[in-house]
């Protein structure tokens, strides 16, 4: 039994890491913005990550039981959230530059709702990986998988914060963040659209 649980935990860890590598970019940007401007707060990043992953898991479990809450041909819509946020931030920075005004603070948008939305949007393509797993494992294995995911979220948040812990990274974001943050969000949006086949 212990060997079976260990195998389930290992598989869950691989599944989480493999489907959330790109989320590290989002967490690094959010953590850098938090250090540079105080927004979003660290607790909002953690709470938003947990809430977003919980939604993805719930939707995947529902899909595994035959309830399709987000049709496969509509997953690309999730890419519009980061794309829209990035374009909005870029427009603000361009207007400030045209006026010769000081650039606005390099803050990631949205607070807690924004973090939740970005986590869901960036993890939309994870549904295709999670759904068949939840459809084929037992209730006990699902509990172990969810526990591993919870540990994985904490580890990811810590790693995202560690990536920008150096003063130099914070200084770069303070100086160039008005361009970096919009560019990252636009690229994330385009990445989601491309993975969903909307750009094919």
Output 99 or 145, whichever has higher pLDDT. 145
Residue 157: pLDDT band with limits 50, 70, 90: very high
Torsion of CA 64, 143, 122, 199, to 10 degrees: -30
49-84 pLDDT, tens digit each: 999 999 999 998 988 887 666 666 776 776 776 788
Mean pLDDT of the region 113-136: 82
Residue 48: pLDDT band with limits 50, 70, 90: very high
Over 80: is that where the pLDDT of 90 sits? yes
Q: Residues 6 or more apart from 70 whose CB is under 8 A from it? A: 59, 63, 124, 127
Return mean pLDDT, the chain.
Answer: 79
Question: How many CA atoms does the CB half-sphere of 120 hold within 13 Å?
Answer: 22
8 neighbors 146 (Cβ within 8 angstroms): no
Is pTM beyond 0.85 here?
no
pLDDT value for 28:
81
77 neighbors 185 (Cβ within 8 angstroms): no
Over 60: is that where the pLDDT of 106 sits? no
Q: Roughly what angle, to the nearest 10 degrees, separates helices 111-122 and 167-195?
A: 50
**Domain residues of the chain, as ranges?**
2-195
Counting residues of the chain whose pLDDT is more than 90, the rounded percentage is 18
Output 135 or 143, whichever has higher pLDDT. 143
pLDDT value for 117:
85
Residue 138: pLDDT band with limits 50, 70, 90: confident
pLDDT value for 95:
83
Other CB atoms closer than 10 Å to residue 58's CB: what's the count?
11
């Amino acid at each position: 039994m212990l060997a079976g649980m260990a195998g389930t935990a290992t598989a869950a860890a691989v599944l989480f890491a493999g489907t959330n590598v790109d989320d590290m970019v989002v967490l690094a940007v959010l953590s850098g913005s938090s250090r540079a401007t105080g927004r979003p707060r660290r607790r909002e990043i953690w709470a938003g990550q947990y809430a977003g992953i919980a939604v993805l898991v719930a939707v995947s479990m529902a899909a595994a039981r035959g309830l399709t809450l987000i049709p496969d041909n509509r997953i690309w819509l999730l890419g519009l959230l980061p794309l829209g946020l990035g374009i909005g931030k870029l427009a603000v920075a361009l207007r400030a530059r045209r006026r010769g005004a000081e650039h606005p603070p390099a803050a990631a948008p949205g607070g807690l709702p924004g973090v939740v939305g970005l986590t869901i949007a960036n993890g939309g393509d994870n549904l295709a990986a999670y759904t068949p797993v939840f459809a084929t494992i037992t209730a006990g294995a699902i509990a172990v998988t969810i526990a591993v995911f919870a540990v994985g979220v904490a580890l990811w948040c810590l790693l995202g914060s560690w990536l920008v812990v150096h003063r130099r990274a914070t200084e770069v974001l303070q100086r160039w963040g008005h361009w970096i943050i919009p560019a990252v969000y636009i690229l994330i949006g385009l990445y989601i659209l491309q993975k969903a086949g909307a750009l094919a």
